Every structure is written in structure tokens, then in C-alpha cells.
Amino acid sequence: MVSAAPRVRIDVSDAMAARIGPRGLDAAAIMALQPQIDAVHAQLTDLTGAGRDFLGFLDLPVRMLAQLPAIRAAADQLIAAGDTHVVLGIGGSYLGAKTLFNALTHPYHNQLPAERRGWLPKIYFAGTDLDSRELNGLLDLLPARGPVLPTSGFTVNVVSKSGTTLETAVAFRILWKRLKTVYGDLAAKQVVATTDPDGGALRQMAQRENFTTLPVPPDVGGRYSVLSAVGLLPAAVFGADVAGLLAGAADMAERCRTADLNENPAYRYAATMFHAQQRGYHIRYLAAWAKGLETLVHWHDQLCAESLGKDGRGPVPIAGMVTRDLHARGQQIQDGSHDTLVVNLVVNRTEPEIAMPDDPGDPDGLNYLAGQTLGHMQRQAWLGTTYAYCQAGRPSVHIVLDDVSAYSLGQLIYMLEVATVAEGYLMGINPLDQPGVEAYKRSMFALLDRPDMAGLRAKMGQLGPDLEQVV
């Protein structure tokens, strides 16, 4: 039975020709995709589609319930061991966790005193790049020598299925050196490694150093892993309702059991996006209308780009935060080329609300807003922007959350994951691999003189600009 709890909803009416004119999408054409959706549903249900070995994300809402005790135990270990916690990962190994952090914690969590944080640690994310300035800045926040008390200590969760992802592995080697300097023989107690359960460089290191470990499911790719220990452990460390997150995802999984486009929100979304591609809308602008969801649209950016950018095709996702980005991106969408589909991510309720105060002198001419809440203003900005786009024949789709909670996020994440795979199958591509990413990695490793890439390095010759010739 589907839960009566708050739901994620999708409204596509402002993208349809009936609303915005001839440049809009065709509702009948979308519904005519039902036979193709039936085939997609069979591929997902029977695990027969392309990339089927990585469809394990589909049952994570149920499968992870058995792992929650181990995840909570690891989180308790990290919470007790330090007031600062660093999550090391890149791509799906950190974006999901950061999405949950930014959505479900106080917006200034790290600046709050410990008692206001409920004695939970400050959270930082690293291992996402090769920027010396950023990593040096993080090291400046961490103790440089021991002994230290838990109230001033730090812990690390390193997330990598293989352990060889360059950015994360480099950052971990540097932080592991700092941990050994500060904690000596006890350094391993400050680390939890989330990695492949059976093999890989990080698994071998974890066994050698006696780290606590949690598994990355072998049948789940990084960008689909937020509902595994990859996202759930950091969420437990900063106090999120991890059981509620899984419950929301399970609710959405139940709604996705049918192939009916009128009942399954993931398939309705996938079919609409696929039809939009067919109509020439190749740019997909996911706009967050709540600050706490800004990282989620960046998570979606990776999910969409890495899954659907294949064979010279696929939408170009763009992540946006509004109303901020309306002062830039809004111009292009309103008056630029007709190639952008806007997807608004809207929250129905925000609490507590702040009302505009009255000023008797009305020096800024804003007394007409007195008594109105920021949430009301935000809603009118969303509706006004949509109206302007409709008048210009620009399509908008709305994803509406009743609230920003673990339960709602679980629904939304699961829906977008299923929708992305379904759209990939409609396109006839494998949405669960990433050959383009592997290509850049090979070239990068060759230029860094990794021994097994010597042959490729020899073929590459001299690269980069000739600084003598650059103007």
C-alpha cells in the first residue's frame, strides 16, 4: 500500500502546446510512448536492460534496512572521535551526501557552537579536485599534532569503490599522513572506509590498517549510490533521519511498480524529457527554488550528464539556484534560442517563515510587501517567472515537494534515478556506464606517468600550449 505521507508531485502542464503554443510539447505524443515505456518497465523489472549489472540501486530502499545498525555504529564511532568530520569522495561518492547535508542540516551548521549542533561534528567535503589552495585551507582547520581531545579532533570517511580514483586517493594519502602525525598508532580509529566489499586498493589498505569499513554495493554505480552507505553514513554522522530517507525512497519505489504513465511519476518525467529531446529541447535547466536544494541540482547534473550523454546525443543539464540565477540565466531562457526546458524544483512549505516588517517612513518603497512572508514572495516569483516563460513559448516542468525532509528527499532521489535510467532506455543507450569519463582518466594517468600507461604516453607526444606563442 502506498503511504499517505507527503508526496513528490510532477506538473507538466506549463510545458505543453495547449498552454504555451506551438513550441510546446505534445501531450498526446507523450502518452503515445506508453508501449515503449512498457518495454522499459520490463527491462527494469526483469533486470534485462543495458547495464543490468548496475541496477542494484532499485532495491536499496529495502536492502539497506539490514545495514542500518552497522551504519549507525560507524557513525557513532566517528561522532565520538572528533568534532570535525571530513568526507572524501568525488562525483557520486560525495554529491549525494552533500545534497543531504545541505538540505537537512542548519544552513550554517559548521558555524554553530557544538551544543547548538547537538554535539554532532562539523562536516567538510574534500577529495573532489586537485586544488592545493582548497586542501591547504582544510588542513589549516585540522590539528597538526597530538595529543588532542575528541572535542578538537577530526575523523575521515573515505569513499571510493576502487580506491584508485585520483583526486580522492591523493587527498586521503595527505590526510592519512596528518592522522598518523596527530594520533600515532590510534589513527585507524579515526577512519571509516566505504569501499568495495571484496577487492580494490582501498579495501586492501583498510584490511592492512584495520579501518572500520562499509560496503559500496558492487551492483550500484557511484552516481546511483546515495541511498547506500555512501550517502547514509555521512547522513547519520550529521544527524539526518536515515530511516526516513529509505522510507521515502521505498514509497516512491512502490509508486514505480506500475508502467502506467498516468500513475508512475518517474516514467511520466522520463517520457516528457525524452519527448522534449525529440522536439529539440537539448538543454535541461533544473532550477532549485529553495537554497537547501542547491546541491541536489548539482547531483542531478552529474546523474543526467554521465548517464545520458552518449553516442553523440543526450541532454545538456544545467544546475541553477533561483531567484539568484534569474539575474543571469533568466535572460537567456526568456529571449535566447528555443532549446531549453526548465525544470523547477519547488518546495510547497518552508518553516519557520519570516514576514516583511512595516517601516512607517517607507524609505525603500516596500511597504506594499509588509506582512508578506519570504515564502509567499518566492512562490509569486516562481509563478511570475513561469507565466513570463509561457508567454514567450518557453516550456517549464514543475517538481513539487511538500517539504524538505528526509522522507521527501528519499522520494525525489529515487524518482530521478529511475527516470534517468528509463530515459536512457527510451534513447536506446546504456545509462549505467561512463566511457567518456574513462577516456579522460586514461589520458590523465598517462600524463602523470603511471607505469601501466607508458604506451599511451608515448603516443600522446607534446601537449598543451606553447607559452612562447600564446598572446
Exactly one of 115, 327, 459, 468 is catalytic; name it: 327
For residue 199 the three cell numbers come to 577487492
74-119 pLDDT, tens digit each: 999 999 999 999 999 999 999 999 999 999 999 999 999 999 999 9
Contact 116, 107 (CB under 8 A): no
- DSSP letter at 264 equals -
Per this entry, what is the length of the chain? 471
Q: Report pLDDT for 286.
A: 98
Contact 217, 56 (CB under 8 A): yes
How would you label 264-278 residue by residue, b for 16+ Cβ within 10 Å and e otherwise?
A: bbbbbbbbbbbbbbe
Contact 333, 385 (CB under 8 A): no
CA–CA separation, 37 vs 29, rounded Å? 13
Torsion angle defined by CA atoms of residues 427, 429, 431 and 435, in that order, rounded to the nearest 10 degrees: -140
Report the amino acid identity of residue 37: I
Q: Is 306 a catalytic residue?
A: yes
448-460 pLDDT, tens digit each: 778 888 888 888 8
Contact 233, 214 (CB under 8 A): yes
Q: Report pLDDT for 459.
A: 81
CA–CA separation, 182 vs 155, rounded Å? 11
For residues 366-384, give the mean pLDDT.
95
Q: Does the pLDDT value for residue 4 go beyond 90?
A: no
Between 466 and 57, residue with greater pLDDT: 57
For residues 303-329, give the mean pLDDT.
96
Q: Report pLDDT for 439.
A: 77
For residues 344-352, give the mean pLDDT.
88
Q: Report pLDDT for 3.
A: 47
Q: Is 441 a catalytic residue?
A: yes
Report the amino acid identity of residue 171: A
Q: Is 327 a catalytic residue?
A: yes
- DSSP letter at 459 equals H
For residues 396-419, give the mean pLDDT.
97
CA 357 vs CA 352, 354, 360, 378: distances in Å: 16, 9, 10, 16
For residues 409-419, give the mean pLDDT.
98
For residues 159-168, give the mean pLDDT.
93
Q: Report pLDDT for 466.
A: 66
CA–CA separation, 125 vs 101, rounded Å? 10
Q: Report pLDDT for 471.
A: 62
The percentage of the chain sitting over the pLDDT mark of 70, rounded to a whole number, equals 97
CA–CA separation, 193 vs 200, rounded Å? 12
Exactly one of 294, 306, 417, 423 is catalytic; name it: 306
CA–CA separation, 192 vs 283, rounded Å? 39
Between 51 and 164, residue with greater pLDDT: 51
174-202 pLDDT, tens digit each: 999 999 999 999 999 999 999 999 999 99
Q: Report pLDDT for 468.
A: 65
How would you label 321-346 residue by residue, b for 16+ Cβ within 10 Å and e otherwise?
A: bbeebbeebbeebeeeeeebbbbbbb
Find cell 513561469 and name the residue. 386
235-290 pLDDT, tens digit each: 999 999 999 999 999 999 999 999 999 999 999 999 999 999 999 999 999 999 99
Q: Which residues, at least 6 apart from 300, have a Cβ–Cβ distance to it below 8 Å?
A: 286, 317, 319, 416
For residue 154 the three cell numbers come to 577530526
Instruction: Indicate the pLDDT class of residue 1, thresholds 50, 70 and 90.
Output: very low
CA–CA separation, 105 vs 237, rounded Å? 11
Cα dihedral across residues 139, 143, 106, 366: positive or negative: negative
Task: Report all structural domains of the chain as residue ranges with CATH numbers, in order of start.
Answer: 8-32+259-427 (3.40.50.10490), 61-240 (3.40.50.10490)
On the CB side of 416, CA atoms within 13 Å amount to: 29
Exactly one of 180, 189, 282, 441 is catalytic; name it: 441
Could you count the other beta carbons within 10 Å of the beta carbon of residue 165? 23
Q: Report pLDDT for 2.
A: 43
Mean pLDDT of the chain: 94
Q: Report pLDDT for 350.
A: 73
